[in-house]
Amino acid sequence: MSTIKVLGAAALGMMTCAAHAQSSVTLYGIIDTGIRYTNNGHGSVTTMNTNGWLSSSRVGFTGQEDLGAGWKAIFQLETGFNVSNGALDNTTGLLFNRMAYVGFKSPYGTLTLGRQWNLAHDIIYDFDPFFLQYPSIVPLTPALDGVHFSNDAKYKGEFGPFRFSMENSFGGVAGNFSDGSARGVGMRYKSGFIELGGVYIHKRTLVGTNYVPDNYYALGTRLVFGSLMLSGGYMNENQDGIAGSNPVRTENYWVGATYDITAFTRIGAGVYETSLPNTDGKRDIGIVSVTYSLSKRTRLYVETDFTRYRGSYATNTTLNPQKAQRQIAGTIGIDHSF
């Protein structure tokens, strides 16, 4: 059955259920595309082949049913796609690769079960100057310890200026509860112009035929002064090695700012460094962006970015196939939400 037929059947089924149970169902999405030029000294490329430059293109459904006494049943289903060719934006054929969960929202917090953003995404989202936009350009999204977790049970609760969260992603490995699993805790504090947060996640990751420990933590902050926002943070991930392989340690540092010139125009800039201490590799990325809102749902954007590679980032063909020392690029596009 084609993806369109499956989505259509899902939409019809959910609307039928909504009418019967008096619950609300919302169809939403983002369509983002543009043209990107890159040049790394070994040649230039101009392409539109992406699932979105500013935002990842997606379509999804959210729903809720009021159960009374402040309790609600909630769900979300979301899939990503490539605007340039209409294909799903993943190579595994997952229909709802971005979100597929159900749960409860109550005065005591929110509990969700299924495939969903992990806590690293939830916490660091607030501390990236672009709120994790430009996901294929800015290095934070791929560094978020997996971004999505399947088989995940997640709790989030708001208590005054604090938000606490925890999750457990079940590994599903027979005979071993820990292998393939992930467990995390996170906290955010927000009061007035300042926001602080941190997250820790422990995983058992498959390397070859063995599962090894993987420890990830991140810290971030954001300061807001009217139309000016300053933000920055730090990530550290350590994956143990096995016989014949070395441990892998990855660090990310970033700082940036955005300023709303008018109610329609925002400028932003950020600097990001990815460091591989065990192999003396570094990748530095600087980006400058301007977005202009034609309406509440449609934005135009333009950005330019510069990347410098050093150490193993310049010599390892897995990290840098052409062994480029630097890259300059620019993108112009349109982003529409519905």
The domain that contains 59 carries what CATH number? 2.40.160.10
Q: Is 19 a residue whose pLDDT tops 80?
A: no
**Confidence at 227, pLDDT banded by 50, 70, 90:** very high
Q: Is residue 2 part of a domain?
A: no
Predicted pLDDT at 208: 87
Q: Is residue 19 part of a domain?
A: no
Question: Which residues are within 8 A (CB) of 8 and not within 5 positions of it... i.e. 6 or more apart?
Answer: none
Q: Average of pLDDT values for 95-117? A: 97
The per-residue pLDDT of the chain, averaged, comes to 93
Kindly state the tokens that stand for 311: 């150490």
Domain carrying residue 298: 24-337
Q: Is 14 a residue whose pLDDT tops 60?
A: no
Q: Which tens digits make up the pLDDT trace of 170-192?
A: 999 999 999 999 999 999 999 99
Higher pLDDT, 221 or 12: 221
Q: Is 8 a residue whose pLDDT tops 60?
A: no
Q: Round to whole Å and give the CA distance between 323 and 303.
A: 24
Q: Is residue 3 part of a domain?
A: no
Q: Is residue 11 part of a domain?
A: no
Predicted pLDDT at 7: 46
- Provide φ and ψ at 272, rounded to 5°: -130, 135
Q: Is residue 144 part of a domain?
A: yes
Predicted pLDDT at 243: 74
**Confidence at 82, pLDDT banded by 50, 70, 90:** very high
Global pTM value: 0.89
DSSP codes of every residue in 79-148? EEB-TTT--BS-SS--TT-SEEEEEEEETTEEEEEEEEE-HHHHHHGGGSTTTT-STTTSTTGGGSTTSE
Q: Which tens digits make up the pLDDT trace of 300-316?
A: 999 999 999 999 999 99
Q: Is residue 283 part of a domain?
A: yes
**Confidence at 195, pLDDT banded by 50, 70, 90:** very high
**Confidence at 16, pLDDT banded by 50, 70, 90:** very low
Q: Is residue 127 part of a domain?
A: yes
Q: Is 270 a residue whose pLDDT tops 60?
A: yes
**Confidence at 145, pLDDT banded by 50, 70, 90:** confident
Q: Is residue 186 part of a domain?
A: yes
Q: Is 248 a residue whose pLDDT tops 70?
A: yes
Predicted pLDDT at 245: 78
b/e burial code for range 119-143 (CB count within 10 A of at least 16 → b)? bbbbbbbbbbbbebbbbebbbbbeb
Q: Is 212 a residue whose pLDDT tops 80?
A: yes
Number of structural domains, the chain?
Answer: 1
Q: Is 6 a residue whose pLDDT tops 80?
A: no
